[in-house]
Amino acid sequence: MPRLHPIIHAAGAEGRHPDWAVMSPARRRHTERVGQLLWEWSGTLGHDRMRRIRWRAAGLLHDALKDESPETLGPEVEDAGAWSGSLLHGPACANRLRAAGVEDASLLRAIAFHTTGHADFRALGRALYMADYLEPGRTGLARERADWRRRMPSDGCAVLGEVATAKIGNLLHRGIPISPVTAGFWRAVTAPPATIR
Ligand SMILES: [Fe+2]
Ligand SMILES: [Fe+2]
């Protein structure tokens, strides 16, 4: 893996957010807890230190623009019309990182689509999607979340399916339209594993 970009290193190794981050103190703590889960899972998976820093950085950075207004973020996102305002912070953050010189495509995709999921998620995208939902500061479904966390990362494939079911099921329950990108993610999550012949 190439050297980590300074923004990624600062976030993942030192817990520092970029100076353009717009987050309440509670939001900062949420990103720290998500980063901590990713750091732990990455360690259990036997990743080297650089990869662990990269995983933690994704947690630290994913909501860096969550408290910025959609009016400010909309012009920064090419297909802004495809996103509801509250979800623009993902692609806008990925764009800011890209503009700063971050070239790590799977990390950028993980951050851009952390709310929706994406069919082309690599391991980090899937892990961030789960960690964002499972971090211990979230209050609802406390017992279920603790149980899911206990099964991570060894049972990650099954937990991903269950977390996606919970998140997408919640959208369906509330009558919220499922975007094509989320539908593609759901197909990827539920696809039978490829057979080797
Ligand atoms: Fe978010
Ligand atoms: Fe988040």
Please report the pLDDT score of residue 147 as a whole number.
98
Task: Characterize 46-56 residue by residue with b for buried, 16 or more Cβ atoms within 10 angstroms of its Cβ, and e for exposed.
Answer: ebeebbbbbbb
Read off the pLDDT of residues 73-116 as tens digits, 9 standing for 90 and up.
Answer: 999 999 999 999 999 999 999 999 999 999 999 999 999 999 99
Please report the pLDDT score of residue 2 as a whole number.
62
The dihedral sign for the CA sequence 165, 167, 168, 171 = positive
pLDDT at 31 over 70: yes
Share of the chain above pLDDT 70, in %: 97
Is 10 domain-assigned?
yes
Taking the centre of ligand 1 as the mean of its atom positions, its distance from the CA of residue 194, in whole angstroms, is 31
Taking the centre of ligand 2 as the mean of its atom positions, its distance from the CA of residue 30, in whole angstroms, is 7
Number of domains in the chain: 1
Is 195 domain-assigned?
no
Is 166 domain-assigned?
yes
The CATH number covering residue 109 comes to: 1.10.3210.10
| Boundaries of domain holding 86 | 6-190
Count of other CB atoms within 10 angstroms of residue 105: 12
Which H or E element spans position 82? none
Is 196 domain-assigned?
no
Is 155 domain-assigned?
yes
Residue type, 25: P
Is 45 domain-assigned?
yes
Is 182 domain-assigned?
yes
Taking the centre of ligand 2 as the mean of its atom positions, its distance from the CA of residue 62, in whole angstroms, is 6
Is 140 domain-assigned?
yes
CA distance 165 to 43: 26
